[in-house]
Amino acid sequence: MTENLPKVRAPSIRDVARLAGVSHQTVSRVLNNHPSIRETTKARVLQVMEDLQYRPNRAARALSRGRSRTIGILSAQSSEYGPASSIAAIQDAAREAGYYVNTANLTTVDQESIEAALMHLMLQAVEGIVVIAPQVRVFDVLEQLSITVPFVSLQSTGHLDDHALSVDQIAGARLATRHLIDLGHRRIYHLAGPQDWIEAEARMRGFLDEMGAMDVPTTAPILGDWTADFGYHAGRELFGRRDFTAIFSSNDQMALGLMHAARDAGLGIPRDISIVGFDDIPEAAHFWPPLTTVRQDFGELGRRCIALLLSNLPGGEPIVDRDPIMPRLIVRESTAPPAF
């Protein structure tokens, strides 16, 4: 594919554009991960870059110096509160440590898209990568790939845990569930997140573990999709039968939908139903009533993530503390003892 290129110089962005059949502006947009580029075009351009062993000027300068002072973030579902907050915390911590951040967002989580996103980061000469990918299938793909720079994952899957740093989602779910049990609730439902999400699975496990430990009967968790709309429609169905006194929702948005459905059904919170959420989004304190929820320390997560990543770079100091970050239960007015 490269036989017609001059041998006396390194390939340029215009060489990439010519062989990929696109404009040099399109190649530039691919390098900058512009959202307007079609996935098929991006894949074709990235393949030509790989064939040519093309490196953008910034990466070339970084390679000549040996350091780029750049960290990559591989992110999926960055619009959700948890991943978005994690990205912001990592960016802040990286800047404090004197590093730039380049983020590659995955629109889909198939192997081709993940490989293209990793290639995009490598073309920026990143020194390390943070993986913020809540879906299990992303890590199934990553296990098959050879990542040539240090990386840290913000989710624990049991497979790449040597690279993992996370909030203890199981402990957080147990805190929420134990709070309801301590109030006297024995008929508790769990509105879970999507089945493929690592956090949803961990929070479900925490709920079931705590219910079992306290010898409280359980019903099958209801699988949701993180949205307030789902919480509302689930609530409309659940509140028609009223065979429970409390619900632990796997995130605050679904809890908001549940609260809306409860009001539509003429139920009082917490007079008739107690509700606990997870995440402590900024609006949770202003729900009506204010929501009892579980707070994650994203600032601490970002600082420890960058410290762990930098410890794996040449000359980095080893990190001793690899324990999961413990969340906190924030008790507000949405929970109370059941009205027997």
Separation CA 298–CA 317 (nearest Å): 23
Mean pLDDT of the chain: 84
In the chain, the amino acid numbered 186 is R
Q: Which residue has the higher pLDDT, 13 or 294?
A: 294
Range picked from 5-19, 129-143, 162-176, 196-210 for highest mean pLDDT:
196-210
Separation CA 26–CA 24 (nearest Å): 5
Confidence of residue 9 (pLDDT cuts 50, 70, 90): low
Per-residue model confidence (pLDDT) at position 318: 66
Cα Rg for the chain, rounded, in angstroms? 24
pTM over the 0.85 mark: no
Task: Give residue-wise pLDDT tens across range 193-233.
Answer: 998 888 999 999 999 999 999 999 999 999 999 999 999 99
Mean pLDDT of 56-76: 67
Confidence of residue 315 (pLDDT cuts 50, 70, 90): low
Task: Give residue-wise pLDDT tens across range 265-313.
Answer: 999 999 999 999 999 999 999 999 999 999 998 888 888 888 888 887 7
Residue 143 CB coordination number (10 Å):
10
Per-residue model confidence (pLDDT) at position 56: 65
Token pair listed for 287: 């729900």
Please name each of the domains of the chain with its CATH number.
Answer: 13-56 (1.10.260.40), 67-167+299-311 (3.40.50.2300), 169-298 (3.40.50.2300)
